[in-house]
């Protein structure tokens, strides 16, 4: 499994990427997409919606189940990746390219893991 070193990770299996503009992109990790299996539907928030650390902001549906996606930041939704609405399988093919949302105005950030720590965490969880 692949966990790029330039990203930060959460224990609820989201990744975070800081952009040059000071916003963050949020997506699902390789481990998450592998556990969920083939994704068939993604429910995303709207631009301008408020995000709260630890609260669900989106849900993803696979053949197995519907799962919540939790926000690692308290911020505001700046953009949503609308391509995913038509093609949720993008998350299965390249989860680090398939960001779900971009957030701006970050007030609070959850305790995040680096790639090494995250990999150790999922080993331990299994």
Enumerate binding residues for other proteins (CB under 8 A).
Answer: 38, 40-41, 61, 63-66, 88-89, 126
Rounded Cα distance, 78 and 69, in Å: 17
What are the backbone angles phi and psi of residue 75, rounded to the nearest 5°? -165, -165
Smallest gap from residue 76 Cβ to other proteins (A) = 22
Residue 124 burial (C-beta neighbours within 10 Å; 0-12, 13-18, 19+): exposed
* C-beta of 21 vs 82, nearer to other proteins: 82
Smallest gap from residue 59 Cβ to other proteins (A) = 12
* C-beta of 38 vs 117, nearer to other proteins: 38
* C-beta of 79 vs 85, nearer to other proteins: 85
Smallest gap from residue 90 Cβ to other proteins (A) = 12
* C-beta of 92 vs 114, nearer to other proteins: 92
Give long-range contacts, CB 8 A cutoff, 24+ apart: 11-16. Answer: 11/113, 11/121, 12/70, 14/69, 14/70, 14/71, 14/72, 15/95, 15/96, 16/72, 16/73, 16/112
Smallest gap from residue 20 Cβ to other proteins (A) = 35
């Amino acid at each position: 499994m692949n966990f790029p070193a330039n990203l930060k990770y959460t224990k609820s299996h989201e990744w975070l990427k800081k952009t040059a503009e000071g916003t963050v992109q949020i997506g699902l990790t390789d481990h998450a997409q592998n556990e969920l299996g083939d994704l068939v539907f993604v429910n995303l928030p709207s631009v301008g919606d408020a995000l709260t650390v630890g609260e669900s902001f989106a849900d993803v549906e696979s053949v197995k189940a519907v799962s919540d996606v939790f926000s690692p930041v308290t911020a505001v939704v700046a953009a949503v990746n609308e391509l995913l609405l038509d093609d949720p399988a993008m998350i299965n093919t390249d989860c680090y390219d398939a960001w779900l949302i971009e957030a701006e105005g970050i007030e609070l950030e959850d305790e995040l893991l680096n790639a090494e720590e995250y990999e150790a965490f999922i080993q331990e969880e299994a």
